[in-house]
Chains A and B, each alone.
Chain A
C-alpha cells in the first residue's frame, strides 16, 4: 500500500509517496537521490546509514519513512559544503579519518551527535560513543583523533 510522507530534509520540505514498509534510508537514497547516506548491513549494526532526525543521530535503515512524518532530517549532504565544511568534516580530512569513505558519512553524523550530547569527551568516551559504527579500513585511530579535534572546534 502506498502512503504519503512529508518531512524536512536538509532544510527543504519534501513530500513523497512510498510503500508503507519503505525505510527512511530507502526514501533518502532512492526517492530523494541523496546517495551520501549508505547501507552497509541488514541488522542495524554498522551505522553507515546514520542521519540526524530531529537533532539526534538515528540509523536510517531502522526507521520507517512513515515514522519520519513531520520530522526534520539532516543527512551528510546537509551539514556542510565544499567551501564551508562542518568542523567534523574538516577534521576527518585533516586527521586522515577515512580511507574508502563508505562508513564516513554515517561516522561523521554519529560523531556530531556524540559531541553535541557529551560535554566532556576523551579518547575512551569517543570510542565508546562510536561503537555503533563499524569501519573496516581505518582501525579507528585517526577517527578518534578527528572527533577529538572537531569536538574542540565545535565548542570554541
Chain B
C-alpha cells in the first residue's frame, strides 16, 4: 500500500491530467448553444462618454446583442465592492468611488469596459466590437503617483484623489527616537508596479437556465465561494442559492484571480438577460489592461540607531497607487498587510507608518503574490543593508544584533502583530553556510581579476500568512470572515472524499490535502480524492490567497478528520464490546487498548453505512464530518535569502551566480511541493528586481501591454536555486504549518538589490535593475 505520510516527497496526483493534455481549464469547456463575448474597452484613460452608437454593431453578421454600461446602470447593478473598509487617521471612512460593472458615462482607465458584444462566434463578436462608435471627451489623466494628490480630482467623492490617509504605530515616540538617535539612515524607494500574468488568461462562461432560473458561472477563480458572496450580496446578480460558481483547473493566479471583476460579472448579467450561455476568454492584451496590477508604492524611510547599530525607531511614509477603482482586496494591501509587517525580524521598539492611498487613471491595483508584505520586506531589508554600510557594520552582524531571540516568543511587535514562534538566527546561519559567506571575499577578488564586479546581498524577511482570525480582521475593516471549511466523507468501502473551500491554482492541493488526510487515517493517498472549486458541491469557503490553504483550509480538514476518528471510536467500541475511552486509533486500526482486538478503518466505514451491528440508538449512521476553522492568529513564516551577483561593467548586465533561500514554514507536509512554491516565488521576486515594470505614459496609455514590452522572467534569465528549510512549528493550528506560497516573492527582491548595490559600492538602485539602469549607475559612480 502506498501510504505516504506527512513530510514525504509525494509526487502529485493532479499531474497525470496536465502532462497528458487532459486538464480542464475554463476555456476548454464548451456548452451547447453557447455564444461568445467580446468587450468594447476604452482606448483613453480619462473621459466623459458623450455618446455611443451601437446600431451598426448590433446589425452586424452573427451578432446577438450589444449591451452597454448604460443598460447595466438601468438594471441597477451595484458597485463592484472593495471588501475591506480602511479608516483614515481622523477616523473617517475611506473614500470609495462607485465601480460600475461597465462604464456608463465616464471612463477612468484605459481598457475599462463600456459594452459587451455577444455573437455566434468570437470572430463575429470581435469584429462587431470595432463597430461600436463612442464619442469620448477627454480629460487630463492623473497618472503619476507622487503628484496625484495635487492633481485635479478624478472623482468628486474622493477629494485630493486620496482614498485614505492611514497610520499605525506611535508617531511621537518614533519621532523622538529619530531626533535623539546617534545615527539615522534615510532612503527613498519605489516599489515597481507589476502585472501578475498568470499564463492562463482569465476566462468565464455564464450559463443562465431560464427554466430553473439557476445561474452557473464557470470562471478562473482563486475563491469561488467568496466570488459568489460578492456577486449576490453586493452586486446582486442572482440570489446566493441560485448562483453556482465553478472554478475548474485554474492556470495560475498569484492574486489576480481573487477579485470579482467587471468581465465575469457582465457576462453573468448578459447571460441572464439573453437566456443563453456566453463564453469569454481574455486575449493576453486584454489581461494586461484588465487584470488588477500589483505593488506600486513610493516610500520614504528613516531608521534610527544607537552607536552600536541597535534599531531605535523606524518611520515610514508611503504613497500607494490604487488605480482607478478600489478592487476587491485593495484597501487592505498597503495597510494591514503592509504596515503591520514593519517590525520584520527585529526588536525595533518604535515604529510609525503612514500611508496615503491615491486613485489614478490606471488599472486597479490589488494583491499580487505577497500583497503588501513584499513592499514591507523590501523597504526594511533595503534600509537595514544601507544602515549597515553607513555604520561600517557587516550586514549579517547588524541583523544579528537586532533579531528577536527564540526566547522572546510570543513577541508583541509595536505594529499590532504577535509573532507566535520563530528562530531567525537558525535560518540565517543555515543560509550563510549554504551560500558560503566565508568564501565570498575570495570569490569577489577572483571576479575582479576577470574584470567583473561581484556583490552579495541579504534579506531576512518575515510575513504574516494564513489569513486570518475573523474577529481581528473584522475589527480592522474586513467585510467577510476569513475561516475555511472542510469536509471529510468516508465512503462505505473506506475510501475518502475530501471537500475543501480552498482552491488550487497550481499549488497541488489534491496531493497535499490527500497526504494530510491519508496520514490521519493511516490509509493510502490513492484512496483519497480532493474536491474543490465548485460552490454546488462544497460548503461556503473562502479560497486561496495569503498562503492560507494548508494553514486554514488544511486545519479545517484536520479537525474534520479528528471528528471522523472520534465517531469511528464509538462505532468500534460498540462492535468490540468495549468502552470508547479504551479505544486507540493508530495506523489505520481501531484497537482496544492492551488487547489484540481491533477493527480496521475500512471495517468501521462499512459498519457506518451498513449498520447491522451498530449503536443506532446513540449514533447516526454514516461517516462524514465537516469542520470550519477560524485561525487564532496569523502565522509567521520567515527566513533568510542571500543573493550573489556578478556584474559586467561594460554592459551593466547582472548575472545571478547563486541564490540561496532558507525558510521556516513550520511543519511541512510535502517538501517537494514546498520547494516548488519557493522556486516560483523567487522567480517572481527576481522578475520584479531585475526585469518587470508596468509603465503608463503621462496620458495613461499602457506602454507595457504585451510580452514584447513587459519583460517576463524566462528560463535563461534565472539561475537554479539553493533552497533549505528550518522549522519552528506554528503554535496555534493543529498542523503546525505556517504557509509557503508567497515567501519567495517577499524575501527575494531586497536580496537581489542589496547584492547589486554591494557590487557597485552604491546605496540606492531602483527596481527593476535593468542593465541600462545598472550601467548608468556605474557611470554616475564613476566606477566603470
Contact = CB atoms under 8 A, between A and B. Distances in A.
Nearest to B679: A139
A96 B200 contact: no
Interface string A125-136: 011101101111
A137 B680 contact: yes
A100 B20 contact: no
A34 B708 contact: no
Contacts of A99: 252, 506-508, 676, 680
A102 B715 contact: no
Interface string A45-83: 110100000000000000000000000000111001110
Contacts of A120: none
A77 B17 CA distance: 10
29 contacts: A34-B21, A35-B25, A39-B27, A40-B284, A43-B284, A45-B708, A77-B21, A80-B20, A96-B12, A98-B15, A98-B18, A99-B680, A100-B198, A100-B199, A101-B14, A101-B15, A101-B251, A102-B252, A123-B720, A126-B715, A134-B707, A136-B197, A136-B199, A136-B684, A139-B679, A139-B713, A139-B744, A140-B714, A143-B715
Nearest to A105: B21
Contact of A100 (B252, B675, B718): B252
B292 to A, nearest CB: 15
B464 interface: no
A122 to B, nearest CB: 12
A19 B124 CA distance: 12
Q: Which of A35, A37, A103 has the most CB of B within 10 A?
A: A35
B672 A133 contact: no
Given A46-B707, A77-B20, A80-B20, A134 B284 contact: no
A138 interface: yes
B712 A134 contact: yes
A140 B14 CA distance: 19
A45 B12 CA distance: 28
Contacts of A41: 284, 706-707
Tell me what chain A mostly uses at the interface: helix, strand, loop, or mixed: loop
Contacts of B610: none
Given A43-B706, A136-B197, 12 more contacts: A35-B25, A35-B27, A39-B27, A85-B19, A89-B19, A96-B676, A100-B200, A101-B249, A102-B200, A102-B251, A134-B199, A136-B680
A156 interface: no
B19 A103 contact: no
Given A100-B252, A136-B254, A143-B715, A40 B200 contact: yes
A35 B25 CA distance: 9
B275 interface: no
B252 A140 contact: no
B199 A48 contact: yes
B28 A137 contact: no
A153 to B, nearest CB: 15
A127 B251 CA distance: 22
Contact of B19 (A98, A134, A135, A143): A98
Nearest to B9: A96
Contacts of B14: 101
Interface string B1-30: 000000000011011111111111101100
A137 B11 CA distance: 17
A144 B21 CA distance: 20
B680 A138 contact: yes
A82 B16 contact: yes
Contacts of A123: 720
Interface in A20-46: 29, 34-43, 45-46
Contacts of A85: 19-20
A81 B20 CA distance: 6
Contacts of A40: 199-201, 284
Contacts of A138: 676, 679-680, 683
A45 to B, nearest CB: 4
Interface residues of A, number: 56
A94 B506 CA distance: 16
Nearest to A33: B30
Contact of A96 (B16, B284, B672): B672
A93 interface: yes
Nearest to A135: B199
Contact of B18 (A75, A101, A130, A133): A101
A106 to B, nearest CB: 9
Interface in B692-751: 706-708, 712-716, 718, 720-721, 744
A101 to B, nearest CB: 3
Contacts of A42: 283-285, 706
Given A41-B707, A99-B506, A128 B716 contact: yes
Contacts of A35: 21, 24-25, 27-28
A140 B717 CA distance: 10
Contacts of A103: 199, 251
- Using C-beta atoms within 8 Å of the partner chain, give the interface range for chain B: 35 or more
Interface of A: 19, 29, 34-43, 45-46, 48, 75-77, 80-82, 85, 89-90, 92-94, 96, 98-105, 108, 123-124, 126-128, 130-131, 133-144
A127 B715 contact: yes
A111 to B, nearest CB: 10
A105 to B, nearest CB: 5
Contacts of B21: 34-37, 75-77, 105
A88 to B, nearest CB: 8
B196 to A, nearest CB: 8
A143 B706 CA distance: 24
Interface string B651-693: 0000000000000000000001101100111111000000000
Contacts of B708: 43, 45
B676 A36 contact: no
Contacts of A101: 14-15, 17-19, 23, 249, 251, 506
B716 A131 contact: yes
A139 B721 contact: yes
A1 B721 CA distance: 52
Instruction: Kindly list the 3 A-B residue pairs having the minimum CB-CB distance in the complex, ordered from nearest.
Output: A36-B21, A100-B506, A101-B18
A36 B715 contact: no
A141 B508 CA distance: 17
A40 B197 CA distance: 10
A131 B679 contact: no
A102 B257 CA distance: 15
A82 B683 contact: no
B375 to A, nearest CB: 20
Contacts of A36: 20-23
Interface string B265-289: 0000000000000000101110000
B205 to A, nearest CB: 14
A8 B81 CA distance: 51
Contacts of A104: 18-19
B123 interface: yes
A58 B463 CA distance: 42
A76 B198 CA distance: 21
Contact of A136 (B252, B672, B675): B252
A103 B285 CA distance: 18
B516 to A, nearest CB: 18
Contacts of A37: 21
Contacts of A89: 19-20
Contacts of A100: 198-200, 249-252, 505-506
Contacts of B507: 99
A23 B19 CA distance: 23
B202 to A, nearest CB: 12
B121 to A, nearest CB: 9
Interface in B623-671: none
A43 B707 contact: yes
B31 to A, nearest CB: 13
